[in-house]
Structure 1
Amino acid sequence: MPDDLVWIPPQTAMLGSNEHEPEEGPAHEVSTDGFWIQPHQVTNAQYAEFVADTGYVTVAERPVDPTDFPGAPAENLVPGSLVFRRTAGPVDLRHLSQWWVWTPGACWNHPRGPRSTLAGRDRHPVVHIAFEDAQTYADWAGLTLPTEAQWETAARGGLPGATYTWGDEPERPGQRLANYWHGEFPYLPETGYGTTQPVGSFPPNDYGLFDMAGNVWEWTADFYGPDRAGTPCCAADSYDPREPQFQIARRVIKGGSFLCADSYCMRYRPAARRPQQIDTGMSHIGFRCIKG
Structure 2
Amino acid sequence: MSKLICAEFDEFEEALYGVQGHYLLRSRQQRDWRLRVVDLNGVALMLGREGAGTLYSGVGLPEFFNIFLPVSGRETTVVDGQRFDHRRIGWMVPDVMFHIDASRPATWLTVAMSCDLVLRWAGIHEDEFDFSILARNLVGVAQMDVTPLVWLAHRLFHIDEHSPEDLHNPVAEHAARTELMDMVFHTLLPLDVSNPTVRHCLDHRRILREALELLASLEEAPVYLEDLCAATHASERTVRTVFNRYLGMSPHRYLMLYRLHAIRSAIRRAQPGETITSICARYGVWDFGRLARQYMSYFGELPSQALASRPR
Structure 2 length as normaliser, TM-score?
0.23
Query: TM-score by structure 1 length?
Result: 0.24
Higher-Rg structure is: 2
Of Structure 1 and Structure 2, which has the larger fraction of its residues in helix?
Answer: 2
Which structure has more relative contact order (CA 8 Å, sep 6+)? It is: 1
